[in-house]
Amino acid sequence: MDLGIENRVALVAASSMGLGKAIASQLSREGSRVAICARGEERLLKTRDEIASETGGQVQAFVADVADRNQVSKLVKNVVAELGTVEILVCNAGGPPSGMADEFSLDDYQQALELNLLSTVNLCYEVIPLMKKQKWGRIINMVSISAKQPIENLILSNTARAGVLGFSKSISNQLAPYGVTVNSVCPGYIKTERVENLARDFQEKGQGTSKDFYHSIENTIPLGRLGQPEEIAQAVAFLASERASYITGVALQVDGGYIKALY
Ligand SMILES: NC(=O)c1ccc[n+]([C@@H]2O[C@H](COP(=O)([O-])OP(=O)(O)OC[C@H]3O[C@@H](n4cnc5c(N)ncnc54)[C@H](OP(=O)(O)O)[C@@H]3O)[C@@H](O)[C@H]2O)c1
């Protein structure tokens, strides 16, 4: 299927590795011109070169911390200066630490909200005026299955991500008249460094070996395995596409069947 996004300008936040990198690669394969960002410059530039040499597409790298309001504003300005606009926005960030409610202070919540809720709000606020003006846009907010079905040891994620779903649904209604769609993607357990870190935490907290961690997760997934980053990227690319023009305000779980509820 031709997704119809050749030459569209895509900004994929937090994309030097993991899900963000897979999404940026997929959009580049579809012919979009892609801006990637992360805090660490070395890995970011390596990723830029890797994607560009694989796809032959235009890929630009911008060092930025998406949890910092001023850096988000500068990031979007720089992307517009280099690539002309933003037509596809993928809001993504690193994950908050794992743990139960009694392990965290109010400051920890504040940080998690800045990283996983306000970064999305900031990115959207910077980009929405451009999308309204050009009467076309695709916003995809990356959350987690924890937004739909809280995960026991991820209280910070459970709290911040539900807010993103509320924000996404609200702005999807307001932006629909401008041809701008807004959707969220809720990945299940996907093989990235983030999940390897969770496995390490599990082992360090004496809850079992990292093998036990993976087994316990696989047992909860009807498809019987963790997902690959590319399986998230393909869903995101579809939502970013011309072909998804009548889909807005959804929160799509891509989780191998992990979520047990109907909606
Ligand atoms: N993997 C999963 O199974 C899964 C499932 C559900 C939800 N998620 C969520 O999806 C998001 C991405 O997950 P992942 O597995 O791809 O994580 P990852 O492998 O840890 O990669 C995170 C990426 O984001 C960048 N990043 C982190 N914090 C940033 C910040 N403040 N500003 C800009 N860039 C930042 C990192 O680069 P720098 O460190 O250099 O900035 C890196 O490129 C996380 O929020 C995670 O919690 C993941």
In the reported structure, the alpha carbon of residue 178 is separated from the centroid of ligand 1 by a whole-number distance in angstroms of: 30
Asked whether the predicted pLDDT for residue 128 surpasses 90, the reply is yes
Residue 143 falls inside a structural domain = yes
The pick from 19, 45, 195 for probing ligand 1's pocket by mutation, whose C-beta has the most ligand atoms within 8 angstroms, reads 19
Residue 261 falls inside a structural domain = no
Per-residue pLDDT of 3-38, as tens digits, reads 999 999 999 999 999 999 999 999 999 999 999 999
The pick from 15, 17, 196 for probing ligand 1's pocket by mutation, whose C-beta has the most ligand atoms within 8 angstroms, reads 17
Domain that holds residue 205: 191-226
pLDDT attached to residue 58? 98
Residue 75 falls inside a structural domain = yes
In the reported structure, the alpha carbon of residue 142 is separated from the centroid of ligand 1 by a whole-number distance in angstroms of: 10
In the reported structure, the alpha carbon of residue 132 is separated from the centroid of ligand 1 by a whole-number distance in angstroms of: 28
My answer on whether 41 and 13 are in the same domain is yes
Cross-strand bridge partners of residue 185? 142, 252
Asked whether the predicted pLDDT for residue 134 surpasses 90, the reply is yes
My answer on whether 140 and 210 are in the same domain is no
Residue position matching structure tokens 């890929």: 59
Per-residue pLDDT of 195-247, as tens digits, reads 999 899 899 989 999 999 999 999 999 999 999 999 999 999 999 999 999 99
My answer on whether 60 and 153 are in the same domain is yes
My answer on whether 107 and 166 are in the same domain is yes
pLDDT attached to residue 169? 98
My answer on whether 51 and 69 are in the same domain is yes
Q: For all residues of the chain together, what is the average pLDDT?
A: 97
Q: Where residue 63 sits, what CATH number does that domain have? A: 3.40.50.720
The number of angstroms, rounded, from the C-alpha of 185 to the middle of its chain's C-alpha atoms is: 7
Tokens for 152? 């026991």
pLDDT attached to residue 198? 87
Of all protein residues, the one whose alpha carbon is nearest to atom 28 of ligand 1 is: 94
My answer on whether 116 and 217 are in the same domain is no
My answer on whether 248 and 156 are in the same domain is yes
The pick from 92, 159, 184, 196 for probing ligand 1's pocket by mutation, whose C-beta has the most ligand atoms within 8 angstroms, reads 92
My answer on whether 217 and 105 are in the same domain is no
Percent of the chain with pLDDT over 70: 100
Cross-strand bridge partners of residue 59? 34
Of all protein residues, the one whose alpha carbon is nearest to atom 23 of ligand 1 is: 14
My answer on whether 166 and 221 are in the same domain is no
Total domains, the chain: 2
Ligand 1: lining residues by beta carbon, under 6 Å: 14-20, 37-40, 43, 64-67, 92-95, 115, 142, 144, 187, 189-190, 192-195
Of the pLDDT bands very low, low, confident and very high (cuts 50, 70, 90), residue 143 is very high
Residue 204 falls inside a structural domain = yes
My answer on whether 103 and 220 are in the same domain is no
My answer on whether 122 and 20 are in the same domain is yes
Residue 206 falls inside a structural domain = yes
Asked whether the predicted pLDDT for residue 191 surpasses 90, the reply is yes
Helix (H, G, I), strand (E, B) or coil at 11: strand
My answer on whether 43 and 71 are in the same domain is yes
Residue 181 falls inside a structural domain = yes
Of the pLDDT bands very low, low, confident and very high (cuts 50, 70, 90), residue 142 is very high
Helix (H, G, I), strand (E, B) or coil at 5: coil
Mention every residue, 6+ apart, whose C-beta is less than 8 A from residue 232: 19, 22, 23, 185, 187, 190, 254
Residue 263 falls inside a structural domain = no
In the reported structure, the alpha carbon of residue 2 is separated from the centroid of ligand 1 by a whole-number distance in angstroms of: 28
pLDDT attached to residue 97? 93
DSSP 68-108: SHHHHHHHHHHHHHHHS--SEEEE--PPPPPB-GGG--HHH
